[in-house]
């Protein structure tokens, strides 16, 4: 019993000595500094991109969206998205901050275009009623360097990949370039039958801006039809549509559908050969 009392007294003295020496204060101070330094590096990385970031965002609930973002050192971010006509033509400015949740996370804390994707109304988000696209607006840093940043949603694990934008790309996004493509393409295809033409071969196709999907229908042996439907985002370099998964046509895979602003037509590019998405008044034969 005396030994137990003696050990308890010794432990009390040692604990008091450690506290008196400032060990706890030093540890806590060091941890706070590490966290602060980590946040500072990540924040600096974001707002030091002079022309902002071009971003592909894939929410957990499906689909893919292009975002242009430009962060400033006063916790503001300008944003444009290809979600719809309004988000493609109007710059939204909102706020962000950093929070420590086991590791530093980026939080978009005021309403912006990211929050539309999370809207519980299907009519607004295009997602599941009550859940939206099961998206995120708080992200942790999976990786970061001077040219790119990869973010993962804290709650739903949505993926956001940011790459540095060029001066020309910033000008394109801010001037409503995405809206121009949507308007011109929609006008060219309105009330028409879309198909890919290759000589006498005609392959029915569709490009749906509302649902952000592109599809083609291939007729095989015994008139059996095979349909491909893939999600797309407007490409970062503004020359067409980047496909989330490749589209297969005539035995080849295509990850991009190009846009010709002169002819107002989409096309697949095989070397120098174009497979054009033709808009016709008559259905495919």
**Alpha helix positions (H), the chain:** 2-21, 23-47, 85-89, 113-117, 122-125, 167-174, 177-189
Distance CA 146, CA 162 (A): 11
Residue 33 has pLDDT above 80, yes or no: no
pLDDT at residue 30 in the model:
62
Structure tokens that stand for 125 in this block? 């988000």
Place of tokens 């978009």: 108
Residue 243 has pLDDT above 90, yes or no: no
CATH 2.40.128 residue spans of the chain? 46-169, 178-280
CATH of domain 178-280: 2.40.128
Distance CA 209, CA 207 (A): 6
Residue 60 has pLDDT above 50, yes or no: yes
Average pLDDT over residues 30-34: 58
Query: In CATH terms, is domain 46-169 a member of 1.10.10?
Result: no
How many alpha carbons lie under 13 Å from residue 250 in its C-beta half-sphere?
A: 13
Out of 63-67, 145-149, 272-276, give the one with best mean pLDDT: 272-276
User: How many residues would you count in the chain?
Assistant: 285
Phi, then psi, of 208 in degrees rounded to 5: -115, 105
Say what the pTM is. 0.79
């Amino acid at each position: 019993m005396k030994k137990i009392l003696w050990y308890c007294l010794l432990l009390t003295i040692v604990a008091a000595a450690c506290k008196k020496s400032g060990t706890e204060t030093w540890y806590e101070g060091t941890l706070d500094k590490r966290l602060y330094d980590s946040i500072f590096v990540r924040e600096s990385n974001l707002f030091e991109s002079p022309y902002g970031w071009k971003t592909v965002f894939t929410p957990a609930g499906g689909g893919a969206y292009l975002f242009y973002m430009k962060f400033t050192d006063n916790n503001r971010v300008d944003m444009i998205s290809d979600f719809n006509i309004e988000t493609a033509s109007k710059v939204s400015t909102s706020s962000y901050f950093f929070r420590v949740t086991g590791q530093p996370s980026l939080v978009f804390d005021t309403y912006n275009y990211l929050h539309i994707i999370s809207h519980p109304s299907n009519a607004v988000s295009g997602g599941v009623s009550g859940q939206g696209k099961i998206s995120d607006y708080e992200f942790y840093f999976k990786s970061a360097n001077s040219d790119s940043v990869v973010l993962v949603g804290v709650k739903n694990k949505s993926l956001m990949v940011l790459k540095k934008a060029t001066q020309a790309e910033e000008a394109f996004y801010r001037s409503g370039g995405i809206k121009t493509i949507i308007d011109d393409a929609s006008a060219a295809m309105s009330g028409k039958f879309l198909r890919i033409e290759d000589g006498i071969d005609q392959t029915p196709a569709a490009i749906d801006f509302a649902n952000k999907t592109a599809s083609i229908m291939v007729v095989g042996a015994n008139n059996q039809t095979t349909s491909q439907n893939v999600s797309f985002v407007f490409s970062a370099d503004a020359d067409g549509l980047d496909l989330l998964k490749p589209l297969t046509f005539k035995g080849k895979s295509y990850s991009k559908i190009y846009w010709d602003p002169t002819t107002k037509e989409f096309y697949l590019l095989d070397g120098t050969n174009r497979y054009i998405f033709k808009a016709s008044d008559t259905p495919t034969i």
